[in-house]
Amino acid sequence: MIKVLIVDDHPVVRDGLRGMFAGDDRFAVVGEAGNGHEALAVARTARPDVVLMDLRMPGMDGVSTIRALDAQGFAARVLVLTTYDTDSDVLPAIKAGATGYLLKDTPREELFRAVSAAYRGESVLSPAVAGRLMGQLRAPAKEPLSQRELEVLTLISRGSTNRETARKLFISEATVKTHLLHVYAKLGVRDRAAAVAAAFERGLLGGEG
């Protein structure tokens, strides 16, 4: 059974989601929160597997909460569930470490599948959000790779999986995926093999591979 924490500042939304999940024995709603501060407090005791996270909330917003969950070592996957799909909402959430990003008009069964996929560590994106991210990846960024991004890419180039890379760097698997998304964007590529090749071409990785 997948333990779910619902984080949304609208009680009617929380009630609706709780009711949806209550009708399916694959899931158990282990807590609710109206903002990020409450979410962190509930997560400490409930230890959810998946956090359904709204973004725009008073006190502590969704992106700040995603960062805090990662920084505090929570293993829960974060699945953003919001009404907003603008670049200013999507990109910071993915960058912060969200495993997936869905809109609130997502049908019930798709939401259930997304929660199950997020629990398995799989990225889940609504079509509109996926299109925005791919648009970002097609446009090579001018920023240099950060030290952490280089560390991730170096391990990937040596054959490490996302899970192995996360373990070696003491970060979450979702954070590894986020770093890779940034690497793809900065190098102007679309997958890990192309990222490694581009990094070697640019002299960003050592020759021992």
Query: Domain coordinates of the chain in residue numbers?
Result: 2-137, 140-201
What kind and span of H or E run contains 187?
A: helix 173-187
From residue 43, give the alpha-carbon distance in Å to each of 69, 79, 85, 166, 167. Answer: 9, 14, 26, 21, 22
pLDDT per residue as tens digits for the range 25-83: 999 999 999 999 999 999 999 999 999 999 999 989 999 999 999 889 898 999 999 98
Q: What is the mean pLDDT of the chain?
A: 87
pLDDT band, very low/low/confident/very high, at 202 (cuts 50, 70, 90) = confident
pLDDT band, very low/low/confident/very high, at 197 (cuts 50, 70, 90) = confident
Give the closest residue to 50 by CA, choosing from 3, 8, 103, 112: 3
Of all residues in the chain, what percent carry a pLDDT higher than 70?
A: 92
pLDDT reported for residue 138: 52
Report the relative pairing of strands 124-125 and 77-82 from DSSP bridges. Answer: unpaired
Give the closest residue to 177 by CA, choosing from 118, 127, 89: 118
Residue with tokens 């925005």: 132
pLDDT reported for residue 208: 46
In CATH terms, the fold of domain 140-201 is: Arc Repressor Mutant, subunit A (1.10.10)
CA 47 to chain centre: 17
From residue 36, give the alpha-carbon distance in Å to each of 33, 60, 68, 96, 155. Answer: 7, 5, 9, 14, 33
- Let me know if the fold of 2-137 is the same as that of 140-201: no
- Evaluate if residue 142 carries a pLDDT over 60: no
Residue with tokens 């293993």: 75
- Evaluate if residue 200 carries a pLDDT over 70: yes
Spatial separation of the C-alpha atoms in residues 194 and 184, rounded to whole Å: 8
pLDDT band, very low/low/confident/very high, at 116 (cuts 50, 70, 90) = very high
pLDDT reported for residue 56: 92
Report whether CATH 3.40.50.2300 matches the domain 2-137: yes
